[in-house]
Amino acid sequence: MTKEEKYDLVLALTETMKEYGNFYITDTSDLTVAKVNDIRRKCFDADIKMQVTKNSLIKKAMEAAGGDFGDIYDVLKGSSSILFSKSATAPAKLIKQLRKAGDKPVLKAAYIDSSVFIGDNQLDTLIKLKSKEQLIGEIIGLLQSPAKNVVSALQSGGNTLAGLVKTLQEREG
């Protein structure tokens, strides 16, 4: 691979990191070509982009992206595949599903919205993560709940203050 090809690959990786915002680094070494192709097919079906790249090029792309990747640099040893996804949990769920059939791929690290997760033991935590949209929805639901109770109490009490007090007293008892 020429220097220019490496430069182009690093540039493409950097842009992909910025575009997706989430990526997982996995160990897929010792897998057969058929198994890797099966993983690629499942990644495609789950809207996950998979790329097998040299660790040195991944490091250069992370440096060019300018994020705080913490200890991810330390896990870039051996064979590495990188999974990109708009969804923070989709790659973790796919890895968990693939692990039912074998012991690979192994999660080395994950970068999710500026948070770093190191090690295969983080897989269950990553599966349970909620997206920003889910968290905002829950907060809005929590904020709406007290207002809905007051409106409901007003409606059931005939829109009078006495009715509201009566309804609130009934709920306490």
Hey, what are 101's tokens?
């059939």
Could you count the other beta carbons within 10 Å of the beta carbon of residue 107? 24
Peptide bond into 91 cis (omega under 30): no
- pLDDT at residue number 48: 93
For the chain, the average pLDDT equals 85
Residues 6+ positions from 71 with CB-CB distance below 8 Å: 109, 116, 118
The average pLDDT across 46-65 equals: 91
> CB of 102 within 8 A of CB of 34?
no
- pLDDT at residue number 142: 77
Single-letter amino acid code for the residue at 56: S
Q: Is the pLDDT of residue 67 over 80?
A: no
pLDDT tens-place string over residues 80-109: 899 999 988 999 999 999 988 888 899 999
- pLDDT at residue number 161: 64
Rg of the chain's alpha carbons, rounded to an integer?
24
Domain with CATH 3.30.70.1730 in the chain: 3-128
> Reduced to 3 states, what is the DSSP secondary structure of residue 23?
strand
| Assessment of whether the complete model's pTM goes beyond 0.85 | no
Strand 115-118 relative to strand 22-27, pairing: unpaired
- What string of DSSP letters covers 93-145? HHHHHHTTTSS-SEEEEEEETTEEEESGGGHHHHHH---HHHHHHHHHHHHHH
Residue 128's pLDDT band (boundaries 50, 70, 90)?
confident
pLDDT tens-place string over residues 144-161: 777 777 667 666 655 566
Does CATH place domain 3-128 in 2.40.50.100? Answer: no
